Amino acid sequence: MDYHIARNNQKLGVYPQAEVQTRYQSGEILPTDLVWCEGMPAWKPAAEVFVGHSPAPVPPPTPAAAPASATPPPSKPDNHLVWAILATLFCCMPFGIAAIVFAAQVDSKYSGGDYAGAQQSADRAKLWLWCAFGFGFFGLLVYLGLMFFGIAASGFPH
């Protein structure tokens, strides 16, 4: 008599009775695996089909030891997100948005293990942040200069 074995909706194979019992006792076939053979009305767990045949105890997995030369990850770079938001609101919106985009990438790259990518995103956020501040400061100087020359051209009020 041949037994059909399935695990997680995947068919593992068809085995003769003696081989199935040997595989069950060795732990290759789990008690939760489904078993069906000709004459059975439905699939049943292996523990119900092979009553009296206890499977071999499965030893717990051993934890993986950390390599001796493992170095701790580098510290997370500053993402400059707060400054990027302030630069967007008060200095230069296009450059500030670019700074926010790069600042938002820092944490996800760092937690994903891409330390070099996190540092690169932090550096780019800082670059766009300084561009936003510089452009905002330059714009302020131009505005104040135009105001001064406008007042000077119209004559100072007496």
Mean pLDDT of 11-29: 86
Instruction: Measure Cα distances from 81 to 23, 107, 133 in Å.
Output: 58, 10, 14
User: Which tops the pLDDT comparison, 124 or 112?
Assistant: 124
Q: In the prediction, which pLDDT does 113 show?
A: 84
Q: In the prediction, which pLDDT does 119 show?
A: 92
* Domain spans, the chain: 2-49, 81-154
* Reported confidence tier of residue 54, pLDDT bands at 50, 70, 90: low
Per-residue pLDDT at 155 exceeds 90? no
| Cα-to-chain-centroid distance, residue 52 | 46
Q: In the prediction, which pLDDT does 66 show?
A: 55
